[in-house]
Structure 1
Amino acid sequence: MSEALPHWVSEKPFDPERLAGEHTSVSTAYARASQRRLFWWRLRRHRLAVASLVFLVLAYLVAATAEFVAPAGVATRDTRHIFMPPQRVHLVHEGRFLGPFVYAREGTLDMDTLQRRYREDRSRPMPLRFFCRGEPYRFWGIWAGDRHLYCAPEGGTAFLLGSDRLGRDMFSRLVHGARISLTIGLVGVTLTMVLGLLFGGLAGYLGGWADFWLGRATEILRSLPHLPIWLALSAALPVTLDPLLVYFLITAILAFLEWPGLARAVRSKLLSLREEDFVAAAEMMGAGPARIISRHLLPNFMSHIVVSAALAIPTMILAETALSFLGLGLRAPITSWGVLLTEAQNIEAVVLYPWLLLPMVPVMATVLAFSFLGDGLRDALDPLSD
């Protein structure tokens, strides 16, 4: 009986022709692959970026279906359960599997400290309900519905992340706030891209007086201290404005102060690309400046634009969170993560009700996810990364 080969010895005999054939097939696959496929192959090797992409897709999916995911409305109150700590979800009760459930809680008011205290009744498991009928809503303000991902038990509560000073469910408010905080980054970056590509493209392609005056304008804007300008422009918005209008104005303010950085990057790249032979050939064939910029120049540094957008979105989210936390950004009844953090502006809330600081968690997770994704995109779009 022959002895088993060590694990490091291949069962197949060494065949130089086979190895050369495998190497040739891989090289041929890379040579025939499209740019999109090569980009995906490079991105898959950056596991942290892929995980961040999955997290962001799920986050935006939750934000898009906030009415369904949240068990309660953004302003729904339960005055009997003010400042209730988060309820833990259990699966097993006294050795018996019951599925997801919470224990019933009874609250009392401490007359000495005026603090509400809750006692968990371990003898009363209350199963959660899933895909259930609950509080009615209008999905995106258009379609009526009452189905929710999960609901509180019959005759019980399900404050998975606790409740605030008005008895509002923190999980529901976080989910509804995600729609505002996540979209303000997308809308703001879109405006930034439009302004940066427009003015940077004109300055880099036309040169001369256009480059001089646009360059001075971007330098002046870049020299302004952002935080005081944010505060000043946000404070100038009247309190009586419609909340939706405030949302778009805050987004415009953030985009107005962010586009000069992109414009300078676009200008410098176009200054080097406009001297290339393919630009001269396009001009000789009668192509106008708009077509040359949009069809020939911009695609040559689209990788930089994509990475810049991915890294600019968390900046927008952090700026909105900071402004709303200071009371100069979005205001009620609009709910964002920054607005939710205004509940934790005093030491009493931090010490007695620490769950009011939970909106910081999705802010940090989203900012880190966009940063990791931006790193992965930069490596995947770099043709020299291989």
Structure 2
Amino acid sequence: MKASSAELDHLFHPIERSQQAEHQLTARSVPLWQDRLRKLSRNKLAVLGLVLLLVIILLAAIGPSLVPYSSSAQSLTATNLPPSGEHWFGTDDLGRDVWARTWAGARISLTIGFAAAAIDLVVGIVVGGVSGYMAGRGKLGDRVDNVLMRIVEILYSIPYLLVIILLLVVMKPGIITMIIALSITGWVGMARVVRGQILQLKQQEYVLAAHKLGTSHAGIICKHLLPNAAGIIIVNLTFTIPAAIFSESFLSFLGLGVQAPDASWGTMANDSLGVILSGQWWRLFFPGLMISLTMFAFNSFGDGLQDALDPRSQQ
């Protein structure tokens, strides 16, 4: 038996306009960047990596000024002192303060890492973007793509250690030489990533529509392709920087990188090899710790950023 509408009236009642928001069933729209930032902030390991990275950069900027010792000042009356209230990280065999040298070395290591990564970014975007965009655009486009990719493959197959040795034959060892050496082959990874993204994005409908509307090639690349590939480019950059820092530290440790009187984490580790067995552990421990923490910070933040920017991981 069906109930009449009069019998059902007591089950329902009208609501005021001011109460409608409380009964709204649709979710509030959240901007994409805000959603990804919120997801990144929920990744505790990524946040820890970012905070640690900022602390390292801050100490690289102000660390040497926190103690009354210059990173290059020698004191023969204070040689090989262990960490104490006067010398927080101890001193080396020339009486130089290890705290001041650690953060002065951080400036050089970070500068080389960021500079090499910046060059890799620019060259990789240009080469990868042109190669990916020209692929499939007639015989000329395929020829340009093939030439650029052959260059990438040749450089990718050359060990960077060999490049360093060859550069040392014709150039003085130093910071500029390190940046050039790391950049000669470092950009090929970025170029491959950018090319792969461009090949996918240029088949999207909005790109094809831009072609039909007469948008120039440069306009399509700059306005449609690169902005939509920015996420994967930024993620790749967060891994390129620590790779460059580690390469510089490794080469300086071998004596092929930064030379005295400049100090980097790698040269400090190299200087400590002869005395580590005599109990002067602090001379190797602190530069090694900074290298490890920097690698951890960049990689943790990069992993979190990759998860936040990956559309497949959006919930």
TM-score normalised by structure 1 residue count: 0.70
d(CA) in 1 for partners of 2:220, 2:157: 31
Which of 161, 167, 171 in structure 1 is aligned with 2:99? 171
Deviations 1:16-46 (A, max 9, x none): xxxxx99977x724xx211221111111121
CA contact (8 A) 2:64 2:99 kept: no
Assess, with a 3 A threshold, how the Cα gap between structure 1 residues 169 and 300 changes in structure 2: closer, same or farther.
Answer: same
d(CA) in 1 for partners of 2:49, 2:169: 35
Secondary structure of the residue that 2:156 maps to in structure 1?
A: helix
Matches within 5 A, 1:291-310: 291-310=219-238
Assess, with a 3 A threshold, how the Cα gap between structure 1 residues 206 and 68 changes in structure 2: closer, same or farther.
Answer: same
d(CA) in 2 for partners of 1:69, 1:313: 27
d(CA) in 2 for partners of 1:70, 1:48: 31
Per the alignment, residue 273 of structure 1 pairs with 201
Give the residue type in structure 2 aligned to 1:231.
I
Deviations 1:285-308 (A, max 9, x none): 332222211110012221111110
Shift of 1:84: 0.8
CA contact (8 A) 1:191 1:252 kept: no
d(CA) in 1 for partners of 2:62, 2:232: 32
Assess, with a 3 A threshold, how the Cα gap between structure 1 residues 177 and 285 changes in structure 2: closer, same or farther.
Answer: same
Per the alignment, residue 58 of structure 1 pairs with 55
Q: Tell me how large the CA RMSD over aligned residues is.
A: 2.0
Deviations 1:168-224 (A, max 9, x none): 000011111111111221111110010110000010101211101001010111112
CA contact (8 A) 1:77 1:167 kept: yes
d(CA) in 2 for partners of 1:159, 1:176: 15
Give the residue type in structure 1 aligned to 2:276.
A
CA contact (8 A) 2:163 2:181 kept: no
Secondary structure of the residue that 2:70 maps to in structure 1?
A: coil
Deviations 1:218-249 (A, max 9, x none): 0111112233333333454235xxxxxx3123
Per the alignment, residue 365 of structure 1 pairs with 293
CA contact (8 A) 1:71 1:172 kept: no
More helix as a share of residues: 2
Which of 172, 183, 190 in structure 2 is aligned with 1:238? 172
Secondary structure of the residue that 2:311 maps to in structure 1?
A: coil
Assess, with a 3 A threshold, how the Cα gap between structure 1 residues 69 and 235 changes in structure 2: closer, same or farther.
Answer: farther
CA contact (8 A) 1:52 1:372 kept: yes
Which of 248, 272, 278 in structure 2 is aligned with 1:351? 278
TM-score normalised by structure 2 residue count: 0.85
More strand as a share of residues: 1
Shift of 1:70: 4.0
Q: Report the number of matched residues.
A: 287
d(CA) in 1 for partners of 2:276, 2:153: 43
Give the residue type in structure 1 aligned to 2:43.
H
Question: Kindly, what percent of the aligned residue pairs are identical?
Answer: 36
CA contact (8 A) 1:234 1:329 kept: no
